[in-house]
Structure 1
Amino acid sequence: MSVTVDVTAEHIARRIASTIDPVFAMIDGWRDVLERELSGPLAGALTGSTEPTAATLDPVVAALVSAELERDGTLITGAGFVAAPGFLVDAPWHLAWWLSGSNTFGAGPDPRLRRLEAVSDPDSEQFRDYTTLEWWRVPARTGTRHLTGPYVDYLCTDDYTVTITTPVRVGGEMAGLVGTDLYVARLEQVLLPVIRESGHPCTLVNASGRIVASTDARRATGALLRLDGLAEALTPLRDAVTVTDATSLPGGEAVVPCGDTSLALVLEA
């Protein structure tokens, strides 16, 4: 059901979308570059074979993501490419992922841009099958971009994180994913002043109803917002359908989609 929502709320939703959209566009650009490279120049550049290798791929990924990771004021804290198992002939399981100086994963903040040290041996006790994780599973199933989180990312950040990933396809097959991590604390820093302008108790949620940021201190980041009818109202966002109209919940709350980010504002009376 479509409802009338204060113009300010719709404006806030657009501003939230305008904050996330550049990250989407950046990832899409990285995807396009990698699809071109993996279909041509990177295919066996060192070995003379027709198969791409990690040795030739990694410098290209590093060059793509490093400028944004080192940019002052960036929203992202990690970025890179995760290969489909077996796609790279010299690395059956491979994460070409870099961390910014603001990333506290490991011993703490490190001012240097650095490579994520990931365990790639399936026989190791520390190995993590990344194809079982939401940021891989959903885009692998849908073939489209996906926003995962907030969740505690024990693989790359060890903190509440939002991960955005999109498939990279070569020859009609999924070669892997390109994506980025954003600290939820950084998103809150940017988005909360905007959300507060609504003049109502207001919570930003993902397509599963998990809280990204809220003006209500009782609503904890990462927790599910439990309101009658909310799960149903968010169903189109989970299905990657772009929704423009606000909907009302039985309790009188309004759900305002934030463009095609898969996020939504929930305004309470």
Structure 2
Amino acid sequence: MTTIATRSHLDVATHVAATIDGIFAMIDGWRDLLEDRWRADASLSAVRVDPVVEAFAVPAVSGDTLLTGAGFVATPGALADAEWHLAWWLGGSGADRSVRRLATIDDPSHEQFRDYTALEWWRVPTATGTRHLTGPYVDYVCTDDYTVTITTPVRIGDRIVGVVGADALVDRLERTLLPVMRTGATPATLVNASGRVVTSTDARREPGSILRADGLGDALRRPVGPRTALPGGAAVVPCGDTSLALVVGT
């Protein structure tokens, strides 16, 4: 018989943080690269930016990876030759691992044009000036599947010229995180800063649903130390600075 060691919830949260931190570090590197290019050429155009983005986005979504999309989205008017511009590459799934560029409509007069500045993955990081994790949500633009999107601003001086980021499919995250989460001492649910479920050892808690528990909202906004007790015996364990947290003991 195989015995599976039980981990503390703090250990599980540390593993979750390490997984997400790897994605954060990659995106931060892309941001730094784009900021360096912009400082060297203040009149950057889509023609010049796109090859730079393609060079980091295509490897990131190729092969066996958590990421299914990656790229850069420009602030309207930031590029010399494109008022609106989205340079985003998508990885394949299943047997088809080919990488393609996301087709977009950048003409505001077109009936299918979509103002990306109204979307959470753009709106929040450009308002706060810091990285943001959006989702899980059904990404009807790229994947038609439950997705987590991480974006961070690209800044030149006081001006945000766009966001750079990546998409991760929830089912890929589940395959990576659930085996470790199941080794915790009690059931665990991974939620974002709004209490939306990313994944859970409880099959009844579906990705994208809202976890409701007394005191959960306050605990997610203002965690107290490595573990914040909730009424009824549950607790919230933050996963580093990822904005994710484990809700355990429920």
Common topology (TM > 0.5)? yes
| Number of the residue aligned with 2:65 | 74
Q: Is the 8 A contact 1:203 1:266 kept in 2?
A: yes
Q: Equivalences for 1:203-218 in 2 at 5 Å?
A: 203-218=189-204
Give the Cα–Cα distance (whole angstroms) in 2 for the partners of residues 82 and 124 of structure 1.
19
Question: CA shift at 1:52, angstroms?
Answer: 1.1
CA distance 1:205–1:57, shift in 2 (3 Å): same
Equivalent residue letter for 2:20: I
Q: Structure 1-normalised TM-score?
A: 0.87
Structure 1 residue 151 and structure 2 residue 143: aligned? no
> Which of 159, 162, 166 is equivalent to 1:173?
159
Question: CA shift at 1:7, angstroms?
Answer: 6.6
Question: C-alpha deviations, 1:124-179, integer Å up to 9, x for none?
Answer: 11111111111111101110010000001111211100000000012320000000
Question: CA shift at 1:249, angstroms?
Answer: 0.7
Equivalent residue letter for 2:48: T
| Number of the residue aligned with 2:3 | none
Equivalent residue letter for 2:227: A
Structure 1 residue 192 and structure 2 residue 178: aligned? yes
Q: Is the 8 A contact 2:73 2:164 kept in 1?
A: yes
> Which of 75, 92, 102 is equivalent to 1:101?
92
Q: Is the 8 A contact 1:244 1:259 kept in 2?
A: no
Q: Aligned to 2:44, what secondary structure does the other structure show?
A: coil
| Number of the residue aligned with 2:230 | 249
CA distance 1:35–1:201, shift in 2 (3 Å): same
Q: Is the 8 A contact 2:27 2:164 kept in 1?
A: yes
Structure 1 residue 122 and structure 2 residue 108: aligned? yes
CA distance 1:191–1:7, shift in 2 (3 Å): closer
Equivalent residue letter for 2:15: R
Number of equivalenced pairs = 245
| Number of the residue aligned with 2:245 | 264
Q: Aligned to 1:228, what secondary structure does the other structure show?
A: coil
Equivalent residue letter for 2:247: V
| Number of the residue aligned with 1:58 | 50
Equivalent residue letter for 2:25: A
Q: Is the 8 A contact 1:149 1:222 kept in 2?
A: yes
Question: C-alpha deviations, 1:202-247, integer Å up to 9, x for none?
Answer: 100000000001111111110000001101111147xxxxx74210
Give the Cα–Cα distance (whole angstroms) in 2 for the partners of residues 130 and 174 of structure 1.
15
Equivalent residue letter for 2:92: G
Identical amino acids, percent of aligned pairs = 61
Give the Cα–Cα distance (whole angstroms) in 1 for the partners of residues 222 and 115 of structure 2.
29
Give the Cα–Cα distance (whole angstroms) in 2 for the partners of residues 236 and 131 of structure 1.
28
> Which of 109, 120, 126 is equivalent to 1:134?
120
Query: Runs ≥4 in structure 1, deviation > 3 angstroms?
Result: none
For structure 2, list consecutive stretches of 5 or more residues without a partner in the other structure.
1-5
Q: Is the 8 A contact 1:39 1:171 kept in 2?
A: no
Give the Cα–Cα distance (whole angstroms) in 1 for the partners of residues 126 and 222 of structure 2.
19
Question: C-alpha deviations, 1:17-67, integer Å up to 9, x for none?
Answer: 111111000000000000000111xx3xxxxxx521101110010002222
